[in-house]
Amino acid sequence: MSSIPSNLIQIKSFLGKYYPELNYSAIQEKYKKTGLDTFFEQRFLIQNNKVQMIVDPSLSGLTAIVSGNEIHVSKSLYDHPSVIITNTLEKNQATNPRSLYNAEIFSTVAYLICQNHTMFQIVGEVDEPIYMKYYADYETFYSSVIVFEVSNDIEVEIVEEIESASALNSVTNYILHPGADVKLSTFYQNHVSGISFVYRNIIAQDNSSFSHVLFGKGSSNVIDENKLVAYEDSSSEFLGVINSNKKNFHSILYVQPFNDNYSVTVDYKDILYGKSNISFFPVILGQHIPDAASISVSNITLDEIPKESIEFEINRYVSDTMGRAILGRMTGTERFYSNKTKFLHFP
């Protein structure tokens, strides 16, 4: 009979006094179809290494690799005149990182675990996309907290790469100052057994613009959660193509408007096959939903399509979204387009 390695810790035990409220929050309507409650019994190696940010000359382009407490940043990104990178705990030792924990949003458990809260301030034009790779190794549960703060009237392109070989949890705060424009793309590259909890807290101030193209790949479990705080005349767009990969992928969108003059558009396309479990759960607060708010979620099932027609039908189904998934920059784009091409390779 095999035994569990002694260095693997049950999440339930690790959370201690926080476990009851997180376990209770897992039965919220938005998490009901996700199987989140089963996570607490699982065991992982919890990261306890020294908090560190390493300027890594081996990384090319404007790149950062986030593995929980440990962050590797390319020299080009660290030295870029329009990017200021700081550790938020170093910046203000009086701040209690646990104050941002919210039991209603599971991924904020990162504030209880991660001691390395890193801020990327975009204060000027950046002529290449910034690549952020979030990675968790085998048998590990890695949690990270990242802040992107984009100054007034600045446009930036950011590419997220999510790769979990075990369990990955990330909180990324996107703070858009008035007139800022963030174009975000996300590629899931999880192993089949990988678990990911990804939470984006998007604060879209007056006249700002946020667009997100999600390339989701199902795995053992994915919960991709977005919270949008919408201010006056802000516009946000969420496009997605979900490859079920015969596994699980769950999307959540929570919109909290500060007035009625904002726009939000959602268009997610799900590609189902095998025993997949794909869901989308939207919430828009407020008594008045503006005309400029629209949500569209559709799917096709490959098991119902003749094998010889599958490639054609997929390409036709996702052509609009894939056509929109482009970068405006001319340099540093090869990695993005390589990820995009690989995403459409179905088994």
Could you report the per-residue pLDDT of 106-156, keeping only the tens digit for each?
A: 999 999 988 778 999 999 999 999 999 999 999 999 999 999 999 999 999
- Give the DSSP H/E element, type plus range, for residue 125: none
| Tokens at 313, concatenated | 């039908």
- Let me know if residue 74 belongs to a domain: yes
Q: Provide the pLDDT confidence category of residue 55 given band limits of 50, 70 and 90.
A: very high
The pLDDT of residue 69 is 87
Tally the domains of the chain.
Answer: 1
Report residue 245: phi and psi, to 5°. 55, 25
255-293: b (≥16 Cβ within 10 Å) or e: bebbeeebbbebbbbbbbbeebbbbbbbebeeeeebeeb
pLDDT one-digit tens code per residue, 300-315: 999 999 999 999 999 9
- Is residue 3 in some structural domain? no
- In contact, 127 and 85? CB cutoff 8 Å: no
Q: What integer pLDDT is reported at residue 92 of this predicted model?
A: 54
Q: 20 by DSSP, 3-state: which?
A: helix
Flag whether 54 is in a domain.
yes
Question: What's the CA gap between 271 and 166, in Å, rounded?
Answer: 24
Q: Fill in the amino acid letter for 177.
A: H
Helices (H), the chain: 11-15, 19-25, 75-78, 88-91, 110-113, 310-324, 334-343
For residue 1, being part of any structural domain is answered with no
**Is 47 among the domain residues?**
yes
Whether the Cβ atoms of residue 212 and residue 239 lie closer than 8 Å to each other? yes
Per-residue pLDDT at 347: 61
Instruction: Let me know if residue 165 belongs to a domain.
Output: yes
In this structure, is residue 5 part of a structural domain? no
Tens of pLDDT, residues 64-98: 999 998 999 999 999 999 999 998 655 555 567 78
Provide the pLDDT confidence category of residue 41 given band limits of 50, 70 and 90: very high
Q: By the 8 A CB rule, do 117 and 87 touch? A: yes
pLDDT of residue 94: 53
Mean pLDDT, range 214-234, rounded to an integer: 97
Task: Write down the pTM of the prediction.
Answer: 0.95
Structural domain span for residue 245: 10-343
* Residue 279 within a domain: yes
What's the confidence (pLDDT) of residue 99?
83
